[in-house]
């Protein structure tokens, strides 16, 4: 598995579909992105809070591969980093192909453990009509394919900035493919 680079970091202290780009963000161990509405030890996503507000927050950090923006541009959509609510945009890593438990070393200190796939929601179509079909589809076997990034928890905090390297540390085998979280 190859390493990559952080192209953009984003956060938002209030609920909003998109997140403004920042010069840097601070990851806090066990919580997520400092000052971000989704930071916390327990779930913060509204639909999950409604079901059980005491569940652990497996969605502290949302990462998207910049290559997704290239793909959807080919279908006529203009999507920029932060537009889909992600905190970290990367380039050069097949995020969707990582196994559960992969550790991503972001910058010089921070470590995020991958927990699963983001499950794209209808809000994506509210952002740009028809975009949901670009990030949620089916493969040749009829299985659902989610392309809207991955989620993780912060194991080790630290500052993260555009241009920082991302080092991939795969878990010991056997590897388990990512599922929605």
What is the domain-level CATH number for residue 91?
A: 2.40.33.20
Other Cβ atoms within 10 Å of 65 Cβ, number: 23
Q: Average pLDDT for residues 156-162, to the nearest whole number?
A: 98
* pLDDT > 90 in the chain, percent: 86
What mean pLDDT is predicted for residues 112-135? Answer: 94
Q: Is the pLDDT of residue 47 over 80?
A: no
For the chain, the domain total comes to: 1
Dihedral (CA of 87, 109, 41, 180) sign:
positive
Q: How much is the pLDDT for 1? A: 64
* Closest alpha carbon to 6 in 115, 120, 82, 114: 82
- Has residue 64 been placed in a domain? yes
Considering only 7-11, 26-30, 38-42, 149-153, which range has the smallest mean pLDDT? 38-42
In a domain, 174, yes or no: no
- Tens digits of per-residue pLDDT, 56-112? 999 999 999 999 999 999 999 999 999 999 999 999 999 999 999 999 999 999 999
Average pLDDT of 3-31? 96
91 in Cβ contact with 66 (< 8 Å): yes
Q: Taking the model in full, what pTM does it have?
A: 0.95
CA atoms within 13 A on the CB side of 93: 28
Residue 178 region, left (φ>0) first, then alpha (ψ -120 to 50), else beta? beta
Range of the domain at 31: 4-169
Q: What pLDDT shows up at residue 42?
A: 92
pLDDT recorded at residue 48: 74
Does position 122 have pLDDT exceeding 90, yes or no? Answer: no
Inside any domain, residue 176:
no
Three-state DSSP class for residue 61: strand
Asked if the structure places residue 18 within a domain, the reply is yes
Q: What gap in Å lies between CA 13 and CA 36, rounded to an integer?
A: 5
């Amino acid at each position: 598995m190859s390493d990559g680079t952080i192209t953009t970091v984003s956060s938002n202290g209030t609920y909003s579909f998109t997140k403004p780009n920042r010069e840097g963000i601070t990851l806090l161990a066990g919580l997520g992105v400092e000052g971000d509405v989704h930071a916390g030890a327990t779930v913060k996503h509204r639909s999950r809070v409604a079901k059980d507000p005491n569940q652990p927050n497996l969605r502290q950090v949302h990462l998207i591969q910049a290559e997704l923006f290239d793909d959807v541009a080919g279908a006529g959509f203009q999507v920029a980093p932060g537009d889909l609510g992600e905190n970290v945009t990367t380039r050069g890593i097949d995020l969707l192909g990582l196994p559960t438990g992969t550790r991503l070393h972001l910058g010089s200190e921070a470590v995020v453990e991958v927990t699963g796939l983001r499950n794209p929601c209808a809000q994506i179509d509210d952002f740009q009509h028809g975009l949901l079909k670009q990030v949620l589809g089916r493969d040749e076997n009829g299985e659902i394919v989610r392309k809207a990034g991955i989620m993780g928890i912060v194991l080790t905090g630290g500052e993260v900035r555009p241009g920082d390297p991302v080092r991939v540390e795969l878990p010991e085998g056997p590897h388990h493919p990512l599922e929605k979280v």
